[in-house]
Structure formats: C-alpha cells, structure tokens
Amino acid sequence: MPKMKSKSSAKKRFTVRAGGTIKRGQAFKRHILTKKTTKSKRQLRGTTEVSKADVKSIRSMLPYA
C-alpha cells in the first residue's frame, strides 16, 4: 500500500497535542475588527480545542499525527 497523504489544509490549521486532543486557532480575527469590542477581540486570542463532533473527521485528514 502506498503512503496516505495528509490534507495540507488540515496540517496548517490543526495540531495534535501529546494527550491526543486537537487544538485549533480562533476564527473571526482576520478582518472587520473595528466594529468588534476590545473585549471580544481579546477573547478570540489564543487557541481552543476542537469539538468532539469534529475530531473523527480531522483525524482522518491527519493520518500520521
């Protein structure tokens, strides 16, 4: 069998932690920021975990992670 390929889009967006959880960056922080409050922009900083409903599909996109 040939090697499976990882989806490049998933490689750029997700990282798998040592415990097996998958982390992702927050959305809504690229543009149209003037109408968003400082508090809402601050809360969008950093990373968060992927929801349980999406874990299976993301793992299939990253076979070697």
Q: How confident is the model at residue 65 (pLDDT cuts 50, 70, 90)?
A: confident
β-pairing, 22-25 vs 47-49, is antiparallel
Domain that residue 45 falls in: 8-61
C-alpha of 35 from chain center: 25
- Return the ∠ at Cα 51 (arms to 26 and 5), rounded to 5°: 85
pLDDT tens digits, 40-64? 999 999 999 999 999 999 999 999 9
pLDDT tens digits, 14-34? 999 999 999 999 999 999 999
Give the pair of three-digit tokens for residue 4. Answer: 């499976």
The CATH number that applies at residue 46 is 4.10.410.60
**What is the reported pTM?**
0.83
Tally of domains in the chain: 1
Please check whether residue 1 lies inside any domain of the structure.
Answer: no
Please check whether residue 29 lies inside any domain of the structure.
Answer: yes
Please check whether residue 39 lies inside any domain of the structure.
Answer: yes
